[in-house]
Amino acid sequence: MTRLRDGDRVLVRAPSWLGDFVACEPLLRALHARLPLHGRGSLSIAAPARLLALLDGRLAGAQRLSVGREGPRPQAWRGHDVALLLDGSWRSAWCAWRASIPERLGSARGGRGPLLTSAYTPARERGAAPVGVGRRGRFPRWLPRPFGAVCAEIGAWLGVEVRDPRPRLAPGDRGRAAARARLERAGVREGEPYLLVNAAARPGSAKGAPAELLEGVLAELARARAPRTLLLTAPGETETARRVAELAPGATLLDDPPPDLEELVALCASSACLLTADCGARHVAVALGTPAVVVFGPTDPRHGAEHLERVRGLRVEVPCGPCHRERCPLEGSRRHACMTRIDPRAVAAAALELVGARRSDG
């Protein structure tokens, strides 16, 4: 692989998924520290605007290139020497090629290889299905690996050391103010501990925790006199949360309107613990140092197996998983078994353990 040179104008296409975006933050920081952003050298970060907002006030001098729903535009990418494509989209590779960026580095997945000058084939697994996993992945059996580790490896290939591999986020002023106002409306006093339960899920999504599981968890938490529980939603993902709120009236629903990403970061930063399915919010918690309980459904836990000191993962082994499907295709008792068989008592116990540990940490 070509090593970065002083004076290189580097474009990083960061992932569009929240979790992956947060996981690549240490690499963005390392690139920012490595590249002299004066004279000819520059660093540009391309991602959806809502994710770029997480970097507000940081990485001074780095240019932000917003990627809209229609995807990146080659005109905006012209003038760079190196394109580092951390997302997996074919369109990004095409855009970098159309923008005539001489060095284009990224994974060869998704037919992007011919568009890249440095295409790598990700790690794969071979042999029997891994222990604890119900089935093998589909050919070519990409090895599920933590994305932050992959980013650190890419950085090393370019000659950039990721010295601090832990993602770091901090709530911004706007997010903090919005969170404080919302907590006041919800009756949460300044400094009062609260549990944040992420009930946001696309309607019918297999990745989200089902309302019945969350109801069971909330009932257990109420029995144990846990701190106040706030139910988190996201724009367009309020259906499950509303059902949970109906089933567990003790929890406060934050849906008026659902918090945006900056507010989510602030709410998560001041919470005693986040309880969530395997989604972007868990990575936000890791980056903030907030303890998190994660229930894994159809996803392979190896994708997120890093920085787990304050994370408790819960899952059950099912013969059909991990399937990584958006919707469970099964019916009857096997439907969404990867989630419905998780014991709510174990989830609540894990949350209480983490809250207790945080309290004793001070």
Partner 1 sequence: MIDGGHVALRAPNWVGDLVMATPVLDAFAADARFERVTIVVRAHLVPLLEDAPWRERVRPVAGPREELEAYAELDPDAAVLLGNSFGAAWRAFRARVPVRAGSALNGRRWLLTHALVPPTRGGRRLPIPSAHLQRDVAGLLGVAVPDLHPRLWVRPEVERQVRAELEAAGLRAGERYVLCAPGAAFGAAKLWPPEHFAAALDRLHEAHGLRALIGGGPGEEELMDAVARASRHESLSLAAAPRDLERLKAQVKGSALVLVGDSGPRWVAAAFDVPCVTIMGPNFPELTASSLERCRVVRLEGLECAPCLERTCPLGHHRCMRDLTPERAVAAADELLAAGPGR
Examine residue 212 and tell whether it contacts partner 1 (CB under 8 A): no
Give one word for 295, left, alpha or beta, with left for phi > 0 and alpha for psi -120 to 50.
beta
Q: Please give the Cα distance from 91 to 67 (Å, whole number).
A: 12
Q: Which is nearer to partner 1, 140 or 249 (CB)?
A: 140
Q: Minimal distance in Å, beta carbon 75 to partner 1?
A: 30
Stretch in the footprint of partner 1 (CB under 8 A) among 40-48, 87-95, 191-199, 308-316:
308-316
With contact defined as beta carbons under 8 Å apart, do 154 and 342 qualify?
A: no
Q: How far apart are CA 23 and CA 34, in angstroms?
A: 19
Total binding residues toward partner 1, as defined by CB under 8 A: 41
Subset of residues 96 to 135 that bind partner 1, contact rule: CB under 8 A? 118-128, 130-133
Query: What residues numbered 243-302 form the site for partner 1, per CB under 8 A?
Result: 301-302
Tell whether omega for the bond before 193 is within 30 degrees of 0, i.e. cis.
no
CA 263 to CA 185: how far, in whole Å?
14
164 versus 173: smaller Cβ distance to partner 1:
164
Q: What one-character DSSP code corresponds to residue 273? A: E
Among positions 150-189, residues that touch partner 1 (CB under 8 A) are 152-153, 155-157, 159, 161-165
Query: Considering the complex, what minimum distance in angstroms separates the CB of residue 79 from partner 1?
Result: 26
| DSSP output for 308-359 | -TTEEEE----TT-----SS----GGGTTHHHHTS-HHHHHHHHHHHHHHHH
Residue 86 or 201: the one with the smaller Cβ distance to partner 1 is 86
Q: Does 138 bind partner 1 (CB under 8 A)?
A: no
Q: Maximum CA pair distance of the chain?
A: 64
Instruction: Please state the closest distance from residue 304 (CB atom) to partner 1, in A.
Output: 9
- Quote the least distance from Cβ 35 to partner 1, whole Å: 15
Q: In whole angstroms, give the CA distance from residue 118 to residue 102.
A: 10
- Determine if 307 is a binding residue for partner 1 (CB under 8 A): yes
Which residues contact partner 1 (rule: CB under 8 A)? Answer: 1, 3, 118-128, 130-133, 143-145, 149, 152-153, 155-157, 159, 161-165, 301-302, 305-309, 311, 313
